[in-house]
Chain A
Amino acid sequence: MTTIDMSANRRTLLKAGLGLGGAALLGTIPRRARAAGPDKINIAFFTETSPSAIAKGNGWIEDVTKAKINWIEVGSGAEINTAVAAGSVDLGIGIGSAPTAAGLSQGIGYQVVYIRDNIGPAEELTVRTAANIKKPSDLIGKKVATPFGSTSHFRLLGFLKTNGLTQHQVTVLDLRPDALVAAWQRGDIDAAYVWAPAKSKLLAAGGEVFRTYDKLEAAGYVIADLIVARTAFAQQYPETLVEILKAENRALDVWTSTPDKAADIIAKQAGVTPEVARADLLEYDFVAPKRQLEPKWLGTPGHPGRFAEVLQSTAKFLAEQKSIRSVPDLAVFQKGINTAPLGQALV
């Protein structure tokens, strides 16, 4: 704690002493000044049951960056892509691997700096019990809703494809999570592929899980939630980024060491009961920071991990779906992963 406070004080002094005004001046000021953090950070986030909510809810990001944080709530990773392309978001917390693969393919200037979780069973097909859907072919003639452009959408289409079902046989509808819950309660849809807390609400309202994730993961349809940083931001404020990732790690520690306390805080942020939050959190495989640097995931600087391949195969699928025009080389995805800040955060 003391070190953080001291470094913060030093920064404040530097700012005052040098009269640091805007980013445009940065090139001309002495090297040490580069350590100074930004005045304001635009962070896009989802309302979801994840440890990131602890860091946000406790104000840790504000504390460690000493900056004004502009929290921008988004409903999809696609919104983060658009906002980053427009330069109005610096950091996207919880963006799915599908929109990230799309973004990197399209040359959006951001980097993956963190894998927060391997989604696993946390996003799953939920079917209406009364509809008696037991095998994939039971979905023929049914309406399945999912937020288009999301990891869930990617999984659902993968599920249909691996089971030889076409979108002429199964009607796939585009609904945002809140609208999806409303449609479910009215009985307009029989199945949905979505994440918590919407998923929990469906289960509570006559739904049951139709397990797809294990077979899909084996078939290469791995999905994950990530943290992306605008490339220019990561280059300009590497130290700030390290501090934010440290806060994220601390939040994860709270969940692993004191799940009840964590569930309380997260529940308040996500607007669900602590019990629901806890149940949701248990479904995620939160990838510990050290594991993220293993070859299976992000790798280390100079030694890119296999997650770049996951992103590329996701992009290939999206290109088949015409969501993106073309898929770049693996090197583009490898360059799109920056493990340096996380490495420093663990020192």
Chain B
Amino acid sequence: MQHRIRLRAWTLLSVALLIAAWLILTWGGLVRDLFLPPPDELWDGFVDLATDGYRNRTLLEHVEASLWRIGAGFATGTVVGTLLGLAMGYWRPVEALFAPFVEFLRPLPQLAYLMLLIIWLGIGETSKIILLFLAALPVSAVAARDGVRNVRLQSILVARSLGASEWQVFRHVVLPSALPEIFAGARIAIGVVYGTLIAAEIIAGSSGIGWMILDAGRFLRSDYVFVGILSIGLMGLALNGALVALEARIVHWAGR
């Protein structure tokens, strides 16, 4: 307990030092507000974005737009990816069918095929969500496949000897065994989706926190950019925290 409090103190200290450096650099006039806005400008920018908004939308509406895209892309991407990965891990022919695509897609930078998505799917929400979907899918698929591959053979043999059919082995042994890796994959996927958000919102944006950062950055409105980065960062922390909490509840046995 004592130890944990001390660690917490170290964290607070590092944050406090960072803030102190920020105050000295900006209010001390060492750095121009173009490069780093001082706290008062940042606060004004935040209030302005929250109440009056940016390009006809308030900060909250931009956050909502982004969360909707992340949610839709992540949910569809991880669900489809996980199902695909489970099938790939369990049935070799499925692996043979899909592995080349998954392995090819996984390291591909999303910006590389952004243009194609616009041409194929248009500039609406579909292309944005598909981009995020494609970012999440291979990560989840590989995680689920590896999860299946790492199932202990003895667990399967025991289940078979207890009378499990092939489907029951999958449902009651393989799937739960793979859950820890599926969750680990989901956490990586949310990171990748998050990183792809700005790319997705480049497509004919007029909403979304990623687009806002990008557009404000064009005019070097660093106060808006910083507010956007702080928002996106806090959103990320919250999303990851939610996933970790869910993981601890569902795969309570992992690592024991």
Q: Chain B residues near A108 (CB, 8 Å)? A: 34, 220
One of A102, A106, A173, A186 near B206 (C-beta < 8 A): A173
Nearest CB on B from A120, distance (A): 24
Residues B215 and A148 in contact, CB atoms below 8 Å apart:
yes
Q: Chain A residues near B245 (CB, 8 Å)? A: none
Q: Chain A residues near B55 (CB, 8 Å)? A: 167, 321-322
Q: Chain B residues near A102 (CB, 8 Å)? A: 219-220
Docked Cα-Cα span, A99 to B41, in Å, equals 22
Question: Is the C-beta of A344 less than 8 angstroms from some C-beta in chain B?
Answer: no
Residues B115 and A324 in contact, CB atoms below 8 Å apart:
no
Nearest CB on A from B62, distance (A): 13
Q: Chain A residues near B35 (CB, 8 Å)? A: 85
Number of chain B residues whose Cβ lies closer than 8 Å to a Cβ of chain A: 28
Chain A residue at smallest Cβ distance from B33: A325
Residues B219 and A78 in contact, CB atoms below 8 Å apart:
yes
Docked Cα-Cα span, A278 to B55, in Å, equals 37
Docked Cα-Cα span, A193 to B111, in Å, equals 24
Question: Is the C-beta of B56 less than 8 angstroms from some C-beta in chain A?
Answer: yes
Residues A172 and B220 in contact, CB atoms below 8 Å apart:
no
* Chain A contact surface mostly: mixed
Residues B220 and A85 in contact, CB atoms below 8 Å apart:
yes
Question: Is the C-beta of A343 less than 8 angstroms from some C-beta in chain B?
Answer: no
The number of residue pairs between A and B whose CB atoms lie closer than 8 Å in the complex comes to 89
Chain B residue at smallest Cβ distance from A86: B35
Question: Is the C-beta of A294 less than 8 angstroms from some C-beta in chain B?
Answer: no
Question: Is the C-beta of B122 less than 8 angstroms from some C-beta in chain A?
Answer: yes
Residues B204 and A145 in contact, CB atoms below 8 Å apart:
yes
Docked Cα-Cα span, A82 to B204, in Å, equals 21
Q: Which of B18-70 contact A (CB under 8 A)?
A: 32, 34-35, 41, 48, 52, 54-56
One of B34, B56, B122, B215 near A149 (C-beta < 8 A): B215
Question: Is the C-beta of A323 less than 8 angstroms from some C-beta in chain B?
Answer: yes
Q: Chain B residues near A283 (CB, 8 Å)? A: none
Q: Which of A85, A171, A186, A323 has the most CB of B within 10 A?
A: A323
Residues A149 and B32 in contact, CB atoms below 8 Å apart:
no
Nearest CB on A from B24, distance (A): 21
Residues B118 and A182 in contact, CB atoms below 8 Å apart:
yes
Question: Is the C-beta of A39 less than 8 angstroms from some C-beta in chain B?
Answer: no
Question: Is the C-beta of B133 less than 8 angstroms from some C-beta in chain A?
Answer: no
Residues A188 and B215 in contact, CB atoms below 8 Å apart:
no
Chain A residue at smallest Cβ distance from B32: A107
Residues A172 and B206 in contact, CB atoms below 8 Å apart:
yes
Question: Is the C-beta of B93 less than 8 angstroms from some C-beta in chain A?
Answer: no
Chain A residue at smallest Cβ distance from B219: A323
| Chain A 304-347: CB-based contact to B (< 8 A → 1; otherwise 0) | 00000000000000100111110000000000000000000000
Question: Is the C-beta of A73 less than 8 angstroms from some C-beta in chain B?
Answer: no
Q: Chain B residues near A219 (CB, 8 Å)? A: none
Residues B219 and A324 in contact, CB atoms below 8 Å apart:
yes
Nearest CB on B from A313, distance (A): 17
Chain A residue at smallest Cβ distance from B49: A322
Q: Chain B residues near A176 (CB, 8 Å)? A: 202
Question: Is the C-beta of A183 less than 8 angstroms from some C-beta in chain B?
Answer: yes
Residues A167 and B204 in contact, CB atoms below 8 Å apart:
no
Question: Is the C-beta of B236 less than 8 angstroms from some C-beta in chain A?
Answer: no
One of B41, B52, B124, B211 near A174 (C-beta < 8 A): B211
Given contacts A85-B34, A174-B205, contact A188 B223 (CB under 8 A): no
Question: Is the C-beta of B108 less than 8 angstroms from some C-beta in chain A?
Answer: no
Question: Is the C-beta of B112 less than 8 angstroms from some C-beta in chain A?
Answer: no
Residues A325 and B123 in contact, CB atoms below 8 Å apart:
no
Chain B residue at smallest Cβ distance from A77: B218
Q: Chain A residues near B1 (CB, 8 Å)? A: none
Nearest CB on A from B45, distance (A): 9
Question: Is the C-beta of A279 less than 8 angstroms from some C-beta in chain B?
Answer: no
Given contacts A168-B56, A179-B123, contact A149 B218 (CB under 8 A): yes
Residues B118 and A179 in contact, CB atoms below 8 Å apart:
yes
12 more contacts with CB within 8 A, not counting A81-B220, A85-B34, A107-B34, are A81-B219, A99-B219, A149-B219, A168-B56, A173-B123, A174-B206, A175-B123, A179-B203, A185-B119, A186-B122, A188-B122, A325-B41
7 A-B pairs in the complex with CB atoms less than 8 angstroms apart? A103-B220, A149-B219, A167-B56, A171-B206, A179-B123, A183-B123, A318-B219
Closest CB pairs A-B (n = 5): A78-B218, A149-B218, A173-B204, A323-B219, A188-B122
Q: B-side interface residues toward A, CB under 8 Å?
A: 32, 34-35, 41, 48, 52, 54-56, 115, 118-119, 122-124, 202-206, 211, 215, 217-221, 223
Q: A-side interface residues toward B, CB under 8 Å?
A: 76, 78-79, 81-82, 85, 99, 102-103, 106-108, 145, 148-149, 167-168, 171-176, 178-179, 182-183, 185-186, 188-189, 318, 321-325
